Homo-oligomer: A and B are copies of this chain.
Amino acid sequence: MMETQLVRRHLIDTDGLSLEEMESLFCRAAYWRDHPEAWFQTGKGRFAANWFLEPSTRTRVSFEVAEKRLGMETIPLDGETSSTMKGESFYDTLRTLAAVGVEVVVVRHAGIGTLAEMAWENPGVSLVNAGEGNGGHPTQALLDLFTMREQFGTLKGLTVSIIGDIRHSRVARSNYWALKTFGARVILAGPESMRDPSLEEYAPYLPVDEAIRQADVVMMLRVQLERHRETLFSSPDVYLHAYGLTPERVEAMRSHAVILHPAPVNRGVEIASELVEHKRSKIFEQMSNGVWIRMAVLERALEGGRG
C-alpha cells in the first residue's frame, strides 16, 4: 500500500522531539503568524480529521482554525462517543480514515499510551496528540515555549515555575520535557496532595511564594477544584490564598516576569479574576500562538503524508 512507503510525521509528545525539531516548529509558527498572504494554500484539498473523544472546545477550535488557515478540509469526529465506535478498534477507525483519504488525525482522548502504540502500528495517517489523559499535551507545551521565546528571546537558562495541580496535569509533563531539552530550569509548586513524585526527580518542589519570587515565567495550572474541594479546600477563596496567583503575589514577581496559564481559567481559584488580563499576563497571547504552532505541527504532519 502507498502509505507504508511514506514517512509519517506523528506528534505524540515533546519527549520525542529534539531541540532542532522544536526550533524548526517555532520558526514555522512565526512564519505563519507573519505571512497571512501564505495562508489557505499549503494544505489545499487535503483532509484532517479531528477526533475528540473528550470535549475540548478551546483546543478543537484552535486546531480547526489552524487546519482551515492551511487550506485543509476538516472532518469533525467530536460527537462520537465510545458507544458510536462500539465493537471497532482504535486502529480500524484510523485505517478507515486513511482509506477515505484523510492524511492527518488530531486525537484527544482519555487513555494513555494509545497514540504511541498506534503510531507504531502504522495506520496510514499522521497522528497529532491533542491531549491524552494525564499523559501529554505537546501542542500546548510548544505554544507555551513559543510564547516564552517570543518574550525573552531564548529559553536556555529561563526559570519556569509550574504551580498547581501537577499530578493531574498533562500540560506540566509535556512542558517539563520540552523545557528540559532547551536547558530551562523548572520549579514545581502546589498543594501536597497534587504533587507528582515522578517529576520531582528532575525539578525541585518549592513553596508557592518562593517559586513565584524566583520565576521568569509563572505558569499557573487549572485546578479541577470539584475533585478536591470536599476533602481539602473549603472554598475557592481558601485555595486562591494558599496556592493561587493573587495581586500580592504578582507584586513579588521579578520585574520582567510574565504569567502563563493553559486555560480555561478558573477565575478566582488558581488566579484572581483581575489578573487574567493583567499587563504581565500572556494568557490570550498563548491562545493566539496556539494557532501558529498548530499550523506548524500540521504542516509537518502533511510533509509526512505525501511523497
Contact = CB atoms under 8 A, between A and B. Distances in A.
A265 B88 contact: yes
Contact of A65 (B55, B84, B102, B267): B102
A166 to B, nearest CB: 19
Interface residues of A, number: 49
Contact of A88 (B95, B101, B264): B264
A88 B47 CA distance: 31
A61 B100 contact: yes
Interface in A68-99: 68-69, 73, 75-80, 84-85, 87-89, 92-93, 95-99
A9 to B, nearest CB: 21
Contacts of A266: 87-88
A153 interface: no
Contacts of A269: 87
A164 interface: no
A65 B100 contact: yes
A25 interface: no
A87 B264 contact: yes
Contacts of A76: 76
B75 A61 contact: yes
A283 B45 CA distance: 25
A202 interface: no
Given A96-B263, A284-B99, A45 B40 contact: yes
19 contacts: A49-B61, A57-B77, A61-B75, A61-B77, A61-B97, A65-B101, A69-B101, A88-B263, A88-B265, A92-B263, A92-B267, A92-B276, A96-B264, A96-B284, A99-B284, A99-B285, A99-B288, A100-B288, A100-B291
Interface of A: 39-40, 45, 47, 49, 55, 57-58, 61-62, 64-65, 68-69, 73, 75-80, 84-85, 87-89, 92-93, 95-102, 263-267, 269, 276, 284-285, 287-288, 290-291
